[in-house]
Structure 1
Amino acid sequence: MTITLIRPNLADLPGYEHALAQGWSPNTDQDVSQEQLERLRHDRAQFLHDLYNSPTIRLPDGREVPRLPAHDFWISDGEFCGRIGFRFQPGTETLPPTALGHIGYAVVPWKRQRGYATQALRLILPVAREEGFARVVITCDETNEASRKVILANGGILDGRFPHASLTGKVKLRFWVPTV
């Protein structure tokens, strides 16, 4: 099945809402599904605006930090399948310590094992190239074999391992992925 990347929008918000209601979280480091579902159901337009346009983001430890410029997309095969985003600081590969990688993605459980994340990553790499990036950093948990395969299928080169910031004893892997 071929997927497309679409900009988040009100018309497709019911698919996002359904995923949240099923317990899917767009954040792979913390479950934000119920919190987002409550905000979405309170004011749909405001939720969508705040999700992608607020000047700050809240970290798992509760701190608010400035939002980086980003290109955010929903993954679609005709229905909502997940999200992928590219965040960056213009003119540099460097990221602040609060951002572990340039690209993050999450596919809903009932659409996994279909190559959707691999296709979505392949589709977002030209967006990074258009912003002037020859390569991007992507991280994943050492135990996340599926994500590692997605990164490697897109030319990822392992650059190191480091302790997970919030999960004691867990290790993250850092990859560089070319955008060309």
Structure 2
Amino acid sequence: MIEIVKPALEHLPFYKAALERGWSPDNVRLLEATREQLEAIEQDPVAFLAGLDDPEAKGPPITLPDGTTVPRLPGFRRWIWDGEAAGSIGLRWQKGTSALPPHVLGHIGYAVVPWKEGRGYATEALRLMLEEARAVGLDHVEITTDLDNLASQKVILANGGMLVGRFAKAAAYGGAESLKYRIDL
């Protein structure tokens, strides 16, 4: 059984161990994000954890992969937990609307550690995060995935996702063609 937990000091050694094994919670920035997170944990673990829970968008602006910066959206991360760190799932939104700015690829992003893939963890974590999305007032979420990411497409469909269509990612993300899904809440 898995759960999604608010990142906390008690879970941090397990999360750090997953990062040290080469896993990245960021499907776009990959090992660059892993390195940054390990450095942040080393510098100030409490501040690192606090930065993962920002429903008021008080943190600094976000730097996109092309180096441009954009205002931070409200959001938070939860760790996928089965007695140890099994992955990460995040939710972001704009206050008062379910719409997202064009540079945001979706409301929810997730990544499971490779050594625990194929166990249904992402499917269950997404189901649990949909409850959190309802709690912040969203009436639907959008989730995007690459054309060749069949595992993620199955996760989204298993949670009631409906394919909206193909789209080109913003130039900041390389402009590749991707798929957009919607899950009504």
Q: Answer yes or no: same fold by TM over 0.5.
A: yes
Give percent identity, aligned residues only: 52
Equivalent positions of 1:82-121 (< 5 A) are: 82-121=87-126
Which whole-Å CA distance do the structure 1 matches of 2:88 and 2:138 have between them?
21
Which whole-Å CA distance do the structure 1 matches of 2:169 and 2:148 have between them?
12
Which whole-Å CA distance do the structure 2 matches of 1:112 and 1:69 have between them?
28
1:23-56 CA-to-partner distances (Å, cap 9, x unmatched) read 1111101121122212212222222233444232
1:128-153 CA-to-partner distances (Å, cap 9, x unmatched) read 11222221100001110000000000
Inter-CA distance 47–130: structure 2 relative to 1 (3 Å threshold): closer
Does 2:180 correspond to 1:174?
Answer: yes
State the TM-score, normalized to the length of structure 1: 0.91
User: Structure 1: which amino acid aligns with 2:76?
Assistant: H
Native 8 Å contact 2:98 2:139 kept in 1: no
Aligned pair count?
177
State the TM-score, normalized to the length of structure 2: 0.89
Which whole-Å CA distance do the structure 1 matches of 2:63 and 2:46 have between them?
20
Query: Secondary structure at 1:47's aligned position in 2?
Result: helix
Which whole-Å CA distance do the structure 1 matches of 2:49 and 2:66 have between them?
23
Which whole-Å CA distance do the structure 2 matches of 1:178 and 1:171 have between them?
23
Which whole-Å CA distance do the structure 1 matches of 2:174 and 2:64 have between them?
14
Equivalent positions of 1:93-172 (< 5 A) are: 93-165=98-170, 166-167=173-174, 170-172=176-178
Query: Secondary structure at 2:95's aligned position in 1?
Result: coil
Does 2:72 correspond to 1:72?
Answer: no
| Runs of 4 or more consecutive aligned structure 1 residues displaced over 6 Å after TM superposition | none
Query: Secondary structure at 1:129's aligned position in 2?
Result: helix
1:22 maps to what in 2? Answer: 21
Q: Which moved more, 1:155-164 or 1:139-148?
A: 155-164
Q: Which moved more, 1:61-70 or 1:24-33?
A: 61-70
1:43 maps to what in 2? Answer: 44
Q: Which runs of 5 or more residues in structure 1 are unaligned?
A: none
User: Structure 2: which amino acid aligns with 1:37?
Assistant: L
Query: Secondary structure at 2:89's aligned position in 1?
Result: strand
Q: Which runs of 5 or more residues in structure 2 are unaligned?
A: none
Which whole-Å CA distance do the structure 2 matches of 1:25 and 1:124 have between them?
19
Query: Secondary structure at 2:17's aligned position in 1?
Result: helix
Which whole-Å CA distance do the structure 2 matches of 1:128 and 1:81 have between them?
21
Which whole-Å CA distance do the structure 2 matches of 1:35 and 1:89 have between them?
26
